[in-house]
Structure 1
Amino acid sequence: MVFLQINETLQAGTTALNTGGVWLDKMKAMAIAYAPKLVGAILVYLIGSWLIGKINALFRRVLTGRNFDASLQKFLLSLVRVMLTLLLFLAIAGMIGVDITGFAALLAGAGLAIGAALNGSLGNLAGGVMIMVFKPFKVNDMIEAQGMVGIVQEIGIFNTVVLSPENKTIILPNGALSTGVITNYTTHGNLRVDLSIAVALDVDIDKARRVAIGAMRAHPKVLQTPAPEVSVLKVADGMTTLAIRPYTLQADYWDVYFGVQELVKKAFDAHSIAGPIPTRVLINKV
Structure 2
Amino acid sequence: MIPFFTQLMTDPIVIEKADSVKSSFSQWMENLSSMSAQDLFKTVANGAVSIALKIVIALVIFWVGRWLIRRVRKMMDRIMTRRNVDVSLRAFLISLVTITMMLFLIIITIGILGIDTTSFIALFASAGLAIGMALSGTLQNFAGGVMILLFRPFRVGDFIEAQGQSGTVKEIQLIHTLLNTADNKTILLPNGPVSTGIINNYSRESRRRVDWTFGIAYGDNYDVARGVLLELLEADERVAKDPAPFVALTALADSSVNIVVRAWVESGEYWNVYFDLNERVYKTFTERGLNIPFPQMDVHLHKDETK
Instruction: Pick the TM interval, shorter chain.
Output: 0.7 to 0.9
% of aligned pairs identical? 40
Q: What does residue 212 of structure 1 align with?
A: 229
Q: What does residue 264 of structure 2 align with?
A: 247
Alpha-carbon distance change, 149 to 226 in structure 1, aligned in 2, over 3 angstroms: farther
Q: What does residue 285 of structure 2 align with?
A: 268
Alpha-carbon distance change, 282 to 104 in structure 1, aligned in 2, over 3 angstroms: same
How far residue 27 of structure 1 moved from its aligned partner, in angstroms, is 7.2
Q: Are residues 1:32 and 2:32 paired? A: no
How far residue 24 of structure 1 moved from its aligned partner, in angstroms, is 9.9
Does the 8 Å contact 1:94/1:100 carry over to 2?
A: yes
Does the 8 Å contact 1:44/1:92 carry over to 2?
A: yes
Deviations 1:43-66 (A, max 9, x none): 111100000011111122222232
Partner amino acid, structure 1, of 2:254:
D
Q: What does residue 34 of structure 2 align with?
A: none
User: Residues of 2 paired with 1:283 and 1:271: CA distance?
Assistant: 31
Q: What does residue 110 of structure 1 align with?
A: 127
User: Residues of 1 paired with 2:184 and 2:210: CA distance?
Assistant: 20
The runs of 5 or more residues in structure 2 that have no matched partner are 1-39
1:91 paired residue among 89, 99, 108: 108
Partner amino acid, structure 2, of 1:127:
G
Q: What does residue 13 of structure 2 align with?
A: none
User: Residues of 2 paired with 1:213 and 1:164: CA distance?
Assistant: 34
Alpha-carbon distance change, 126 to 210 in structure 1, aligned in 2, over 3 angstroms: same
Alpha-carbon distance change, 159 to 283 in structure 1, aligned in 2, over 3 angstroms: farther
User: Residues of 2 paired with 1:242 and 1:167: CA distance?
Assistant: 35
* Matching of residues 124-143 of structure 1 within 5 Å: 124-143=141-160
1:82 paired residue among 99, 118, 129: 99
Does the 8 Å contact 2:144/2:191 carry over to 1?
A: yes
User: Residues of 1 paired with 2:221 and 2:182: CA distance?
Assistant: 36
Does the 8 Å contact 1:212/1:267 carry over to 2?
A: no
Alpha-carbon distance change, 198 to 165 in structure 1, aligned in 2, over 3 angstroms: farther
Alpha-carbon distance change, 152 to 229 in structure 1, aligned in 2, over 3 angstroms: farther
The runs of 5 or more residues in structure 1 that have no matched partner are 1-22
Partner amino acid, structure 1, of 2:112:
M
Q: What does residue 13 of structure 1 align with?
A: none
How far residue 127 of structure 1 moved from its aligned partner, in angstroms, is 1.5
Moved more, 28-37 or 83-92: 28-37
How far residue 266 of structure 1 moved from its aligned partner, in angstroms, is 1.6
Q: What does residue 10 of structure 1 align with?
A: none
Partner amino acid, structure 2, of 1:244:
V
Does the 8 Å contact 2:161/2:167 carry over to 1?
A: yes
Q: What does residue 17 of structure 1 align with?
A: none
Alpha-carbon distance change, 205 to 283 in structure 1, aligned in 2, over 3 angstroms: closer
How far residue 69 of structure 1 moved from its aligned partner, in angstroms, is 1.0
Q: Are residues 1:198 and 2:215 paired? A: yes
The two structures have a TM-score, normalised by structure 1, of 0.83
What number of residue pairs does the alignment pair up? 265
* Matching of residues 48-87 of structure 1 within 5 Å: 48-87=65-104
User: Residues of 2 paired with 1:169 and 1:260: CA distance?
Assistant: 31
Q: Secondary structure at the match of 1:192?
A: strand
Does the 8 Å contact 2:211/2:260 carry over to 1?
A: yes
Does the 8 Å contact 1:216/1:264 carry over to 2?
A: no
The two structures have a TM-score, normalised by structure 2, of 0.77
Alpha-carbon distance change, 169 to 222 in structure 1, aligned in 2, over 3 angstroms: farther
How far residue 206 of structure 1 moved from its aligned partner, in angstroms, is 2.3
Partner amino acid, structure 2, of 1:255:
N
Does the 8 Å contact 1:232/1:243 carry over to 2?
A: yes
Does the 8 Å contact 2:205/2:267 carry over to 1?
A: no
Moved more, 38-47 or 209-218: 209-218
* Matching of residues 142-157 of structure 1 within 5 Å: 142-157=159-174
Q: What does residue 101 of structure 1 align with?
A: 118
How far residue 154 of structure 1 moved from its aligned partner, in angstroms, is 2.6
